[in-house]
Amino acid sequence: MATAALLRSLRRSAPLSSFKSDAERKALIDAKNNADTTIYSVEKNLNEYKDKLPADVVSEIETAVSDLRKAAGGEDAAEIQAKIDAANKAQSKIGQHMQGGSGSGGDGSSGGSEGGNQTPEAEYEEVKK
């Protein structure tokens, strides 16, 4: 009888322990998928703007991607997420440099678009038929 009670107890506790394992496994898989997506995105942007960026920014981004690749090969979801955040932070420097380089041109174009919203004044004559 003690064996039957023990088996029932194990059956009840087994799904709970496997659920925790499944949740951890899902978190790891999600982190690895996010890492792959981030690596692709960062490398695509880096390749597109590499020639317009300072060498130190390019190096920082490449290092962040390399670190993320190493972390994605591991089994620690928290470390992978930390490396994803670091890669995204490094990638944001691409936008900062692109915006800084074209920021003054953007101001001039925004002034032009404001002028486009206003109706220009013109001289005209009424023609009688």
Per-domain boundaries in the chain: 55-94
Summarize pLDDT for 15-71 with one digit per residue, the tens: 555 556 888 899 999 999 999 999 999 999 999 999 999 999 999 999 999 999 999
Determine contact, residues 41/91, Cβ cutoff 8 Å.
yes
Report whether 83 contacts 35 (CB < 8 A).
Answer: yes
Neighbouring C-beta atoms of residue 68, cutoff 10 Å: 26
The pLDDT tens digits for 75-118 are 999 999 999 999 999 999 998 888 875 444 444 444 444 445 66
| 45 neighbors 53 (Cβ within 8 angstroms) | no
Output the CA torsion sign for 16, 21, 25, 31. positive
pTM over 0.85: no
Tell me, what amino acid is at 120?
P
